[in-house]
Structure 1
Amino acid sequence: MGRRRWLLVLALTFALLPQPTPRPAARATARPIVVVAANQSSNWSGYMQGRLEKGISFHAIAADWIVPKVKQRNAGEAETSLSWIGIGGGCLDAGCTIGDDTLIQAGIGHEVNDAGDPDYYAWWEIIPLPLQRTDPPLPVRAGDRVHVAIVESATTPELWTITIANLTLGQTFTHTLMYPSSFATAEWVIERPV
């Protein structure tokens, strides 16, 4: 049998075979997000996940983002905004009538002075103490990609390591400290200029 005849027989064989029945398109399903308490803030936006929704405690959080460029909104006025992640500080009950007094957080500060000059810096904070700029200072500029992580030790309870890395510049700040946390919430926030 010639090559053409084989190809014809092969083509007819495939043409006569039963064709697969088309299946209906797969449907995407998702369960609704449980909202225990929706809070509003006049100076920040972001996402907070709590023990009330998930039934778990939070012992680590990490995020990457691009440092936003800031500019003065009102001439002659200094303004500060912050982007950060943290553990604690959220609501401890469904009605959000009981707040969490513990909060360990770290991120990037972006501010302008009254002349409109921008300043970018890495920082960390444990409530009730004030915000601490990294020492030594970690260089940060608008447009840099940063990675921030807050992780509790797996072997020593309440021993935390804060890591802030400028991935664009290849530089990292790390700080380890003891801090008692409620472990009740994890959040990623950007605060608007104030």
Structure 2
Amino acid sequence: MAGSSSRARSARGGLMRRAGFGVALMSIALFIPGAASTATPVIVHPALPHIIHRGNGTAQSSNWSGYAAYNATFSDVKGSWSQPAANCSSTTTAQYASFWVGLDGYKSSSVEQLGTDSDCAGRNTPSYYAWWEMYPNPSHQISGFAVRPGDSISADVSRLATLYTLTLVNNTTGQRFSTTQTSTAANSSAEWVAEAPSQCIIVFCRVLPLANFGTITFTGSYATSGTQKSISGYANDSITMTDTTGTTVRAQPSGLSPDGTSFSDTWRHS
């Protein structure tokens, strides 16, 4: 079983608060007596969607793309994907893309999630890794869990009362990671998401450029509220990632498959 470690790169401990359809984003800074006053930028995985617009089964967000199921109390969410290759040939700056499944976050203030990243450290410098998070607590990179383009990844978040078991499997290599954590979350939504993380300096945050991941296909997408159902078995929104004005599409999900268990998500713009 792979282990886990907490890192600044994946310290996804920002705090997002909702105000109607809008969201204000801020990060909690760690104050260390005697430390230099210049803050070090921290890349965070805010976990909650910055909603620009929502209605009629669709939503626009500046950091999420995918699907969210809601209007139920969920005890499990699962999904699989083939790890996308990050196309870093045309970028000179760092870019990031995260892929995950989780409970909560769409209409609540916590998220229980795990997934993988396809990032660009610079031109022709891709980076891949796996992580888990009980937001708003910091996330943890899963050490020793190899992730490569084309690997078949399966993720599951299950709940029994206040115990949450997060499981990630690399079906290609046979590696498996599982951790059980405690939370008193709302369990009010389930998500399958491609995300652009953010960079925060003290309380000032910005959504980072989205790495060109091509197209990712989520399969075997189920959530459980009493009984296990596909995404289409619940009230759900398709979420398109746009710029903050809602005019430039950054990533866009397809429609659901006929059985409601699969969809593709395609990169459009960094």
Higher helix share: 1
- Please give the residue correspondences for 1:1-194 in structure 2 after superposition, counting only pairs within 5 Å: 38-51=58-71, 56-72=72-88, 74-91=90-107, 100-134=108-142, 136-153=143-160, 157-192=161-196, 193=210
Structure 1 counterpart of 2:164, which letter?
W
Q: Structure 1 residues 87, 133: CA separation in 2 closer, same or farther (over 3 Å shift)?
A: same
Q: TM-score of the superposition, structure 2-length normalised?
A: 0.50
Task: State the Cα deviation string for residues 135-170 of structure 1 (Å, max 9, x = none).
Answer: x331110000011000112xxx11111110000001
Shift of 1:129: 1.7
* Cα distance in 2 between the residues matched to 1:129 and 1:73: 34
* Cα distance in 2 between the residues matched to 1:41 and 1:104: 19
Q: Which runs of 5+ in 1 are unaligned?
A: 1-34, 92-99
* Cα distance in 1 between the residues matched to 2:192 and 2:138: 19
Q: Which moved more, 1:114-123 or 1:100-109?
A: 114-123
Q: Which runs of 5+ in 2 are unaligned?
A: 1-54, 197-209, 212-270
Structure 2 counterpart of 1:44, which letter?
W
* Cα distance in 2 between the residues matched to 1:140 and 1:118: 12
Contact 1:121 1:137 in 2 (8 A): no
Shift of 1:36: 6.0
Tell me the percent identity: 31
Shift of 1:41: 1.0
Across the aligned residues of Structure 1 and Structure 2, the Cα RMSD in angstroms comes to 1.7
* Cα distance in 2 between the residues matched to 1:44 and 1:169: 28
- Partner of 1:149, secondary structure, is strand
* Cα distance in 1 between the residues matched to 2:106 and 2:56: 12
Q: Structure 1 residues 36, 137: CA separation in 2 closer, same or farther (over 3 Å shift)?
A: farther
Structure 1 counterpart of 2:153, which letter?
V
Contact 2:68 2:106 in 1 (8 A): yes
- Partner of 2:137, secondary structure, is coil
Q: Structure 1 residues 81, 40: CA separation in 2 closer, same or farther (over 3 Å shift)?
A: same
* Cα distance in 2 between the residues matched to 1:71 and 1:123: 21
Shift of 1:37: 5.8
Contact 1:103 1:127 in 2 (8 A): yes
Aligned length in residues: 144
Q: TM-score of the superposition, structure 1-length normalised?
A: 0.69
Higher strand share: 2
Contact 2:119 2:127 in 1 (8 A): yes
